[in-house]
């Protein structure tokens, strides 16, 4: 009997201990803090006497150059020992031109925010030969500037806001680039005494026939390239030097070419008249029959027939006109019976573009028979 009571007591104690060890504590519930109310912000009045910004907000800050070996190097520019005669001030967000050291031959000021060019920075820079002022905001250039730099050879001022060709240009100049400005005026004598100029770029301005007088280009005896494309010209420019090699007149309003316009040219090799209003009525049949001409471009006009040309022409662009028929016998510079064994007598045409007209393949046989050097024809 006692044994049974002891066994029962032991079993009860065992169950009681298991219940104690397996019991898990309950997690405490998080206490929520009472919401705090924020006070409405009261705008603070501006500080008294705060100065207004001195420059337009679209101008980024000036970028200073690295420390230089040269003590005369402007802090806004970069000077390297490898190129002691070059002053690199491009892409520095400049508003004004710094003082140019006297050792400078090559001056790079493109891609800045310069609005005026004055004479003061060039007082000691008498040996500058190359100036690049492209892509700024220049609307005025002092006449005295170029008097300080008599040895200047190359002047690049494209992509600015000039309304007229600068005055007082040095006689030493060989290249003048004025493309993409707002030029509508060329002052009388602007190019006088510039007998060394070989390249004049006036592309994409606002020049009309009244702005180009007979004597505008008279003194440019060494001119090789004249670019008057993308202006508002209605006729061919007068007084173009007869030693010219390249004449670019694309994207104007020209509808007529005088019969003897190219008669006096001695070296003319490239003529571009794309995107004008030329038709057969305003184009004398043999006006382009020039022995020196190598490349003739008349795309995007209103021509109904192929103009005559010299046997020396190598590239002819007549695409996007109103041509309906092409007769190789009529346009061939020589007779189809010419002895082809003598290559000097065979026309030199290599490239002919006729697409965008009213022509259909195949290419006429007489065209192939005439132009035996033809490598590519687009129709």
pLDDT at 112: 97
Is the model more confident about 369 or about 156?
156
Half-sphere exposure of 49 (CA within 13 A, CB side): 0
pLDDT digits (tens, 9 = 90+) for 270-327: 999 999 999 999 999 899 999 999 999 999 999 999 999 999 999 999 999 999 999 9
3-state secondary structure of 248: strand
Q: 122: which DSSP letter?
A: G
pLDDT tier, 184 (very low <50, low <70, confident <90, very high otherwise): very high
Residue 52 pLDDT exceeds 60: no
pLDDT tier, 139 (very low <50, low <70, confident <90, very high otherwise): very high
Q: Please state, in angstroms and as integers, the Cα–Cα distance from residue 84 to each residue in 63, 118, 181, following that order.
A: 21, 24, 32
pLDDT at 343: 75
Q: Where are the alpha helices (DSSP H) in the chain?
A: 2-22, 328-331, 365-370
**Upstream peptide bond of 362 is cis (omega within 30 degrees of 0):** yes
Q: What is the DSSP string of 259-326?
A: TTTTTT-SS--EEE--SS--BGGGS-TTTT--TT--EEE--SSB-SSPPP--TT--EEE--SS-----
Q: Which of 68-77, 164-173, 180-189, 191-200 has the lowest mean pLDDT?
A: 68-77
Is the model more confident about 27 or about 242?
242
Q: What is the DSSP string of 57-80?
A: TTSPPPPPPPP-S-TTS-TTSB--
Taking all residues of the chain, what is their mean pLDDT, rounded to a whole number? Answer: 86
Give the predicted TM-score (pTM) of the model: 0.82
Residue 333 pLDDT exceeds 60: yes
pLDDT at 74: 93
Q: 10: which DSSP letter?
A: H
pLDDT at 344: 75
pLDDT at 338: 65
- Residues 6 or more apart whose CB falls under 8 angstroms from that of 331 comprise 306, 308, 309, 367, 370
pLDDT at 161: 98
Choose from 76-85, 132-141, 210-219 the range with maximum mean pLDDT.
132-141
Is the model more confident about 131 or about 51?
131
pLDDT at 1: 46
- Token digits for 209? 């026939």
Q: Rounded to the nearest 5°, which phi and psi values hold at 32? A: -90, 125
Is the model more confident about 51 or about 111?
111
pLDDT at 13: 47
Closest CA relative to residue 178, chosen from 113, 131, 143: 131
Asked if residue 276 lies in contact with residue 253, where contact means CB atoms within 8 angstroms, the answer is: yes
Average pLDDT of 83-92? 94
Asked if residue 286 lies in contact with residue 308, where contact means CB atoms within 8 angstroms, the answer is: yes
pLDDT at 277: 98
Average pLDDT of 142-149? 91
What is the signed CA dihedral for 321, 323, 328, 331, rounded to 10 degrees?
A: -60
Residue 193 pLDDT exceeds 80: yes
Residue 23 pLDDT exceeds 50: no
- As beta bridge partners, residue 296 has 271, 316
Q: Please state, in angstroms and as integers, the Cα–Cα distance from residue 148 to each residue in 121, 144, 190, following that order.
A: 10, 7, 17
Residue 196 pLDDT exceeds 70: yes
Asked if residue 368 lies in contact with residue 336, where contact means CB atoms within 8 angstroms, the answer is: no
Is the model more confident about 365 or about 53?
365
């Amino acid at each position: 009997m006692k044994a049974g009571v002891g066994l029962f007591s032991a079993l009860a104690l065992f169950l009681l201990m298991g219940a104690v060890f397996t019991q898990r504590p309950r997690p405490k519930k998080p206490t929520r803090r009472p919401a705090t109310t924020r006070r409405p912000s009261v705008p603070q009045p501006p500080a008294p006497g705060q100065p207004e910004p001195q420059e337009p907000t679209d101008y980024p800050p000036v970028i200073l150059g690295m420390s230089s070996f040269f003590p005369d190097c402007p802090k806004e520019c970069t000077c390297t020992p490898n190129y002691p005669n070059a002053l690199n001030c491009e892409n520095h967000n400049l508003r004004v031109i710094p003082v140019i050291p006297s050792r400078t031959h090559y001056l790079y000021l493109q891609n800045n925010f310069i609005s005026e060019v004055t004479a003061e920075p060039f007082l000691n820079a008498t040996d500058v030969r190359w100036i690049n002022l492209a892509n700024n905001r220049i609307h005025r250039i002092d006449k005295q500037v170029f008097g300080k730099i008599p040895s200047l050879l190359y002047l690049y001022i494209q992509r600015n806001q000039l309304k007229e060709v600068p005055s007082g240009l040095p006689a030493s100049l060989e290249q003048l680039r004025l493309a993409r400005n707002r030029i509508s005026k060329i002052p009388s004598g602007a190019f006088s005494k510039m007998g060394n100029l070989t390249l004049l770029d006036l592309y994409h301005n606002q020049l009309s026939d009244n702005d180009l007088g007979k004597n505008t280009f008279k003194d440019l005896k060494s001119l090789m390239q004249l670019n008057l494309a993308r202006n508002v010209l209605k006729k061919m420019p007068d007084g173009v030097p007869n030693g010219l090699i390249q004449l670019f007149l694309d994207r104007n309003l020209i509808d007529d070419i005088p019969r003897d316009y190219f008669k006096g040219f001695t070296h003319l090799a490239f003529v571009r008249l794309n995107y004008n209003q030329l038709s057969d009525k305003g184009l004398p049949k043999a006006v382009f029959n020039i022995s020196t001409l190598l490349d003739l471009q008349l795309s995007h006009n209103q021509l109904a027939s192929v103009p005559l040309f010299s046997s020396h022409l190598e590239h002819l662009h007549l695409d996007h006109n109103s041509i309906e028929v092409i007769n190789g016998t009529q346009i061939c510079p020589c007779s189809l019976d010419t002895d082809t064994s003598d290559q000097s007598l065979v026309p030199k045409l290599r490239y002919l573009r006729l697409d965008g007209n009213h022509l259909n393949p195949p290419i006429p046989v007489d065209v192939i028979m005439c132009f035996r050097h033809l490598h590519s024809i687009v129709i």
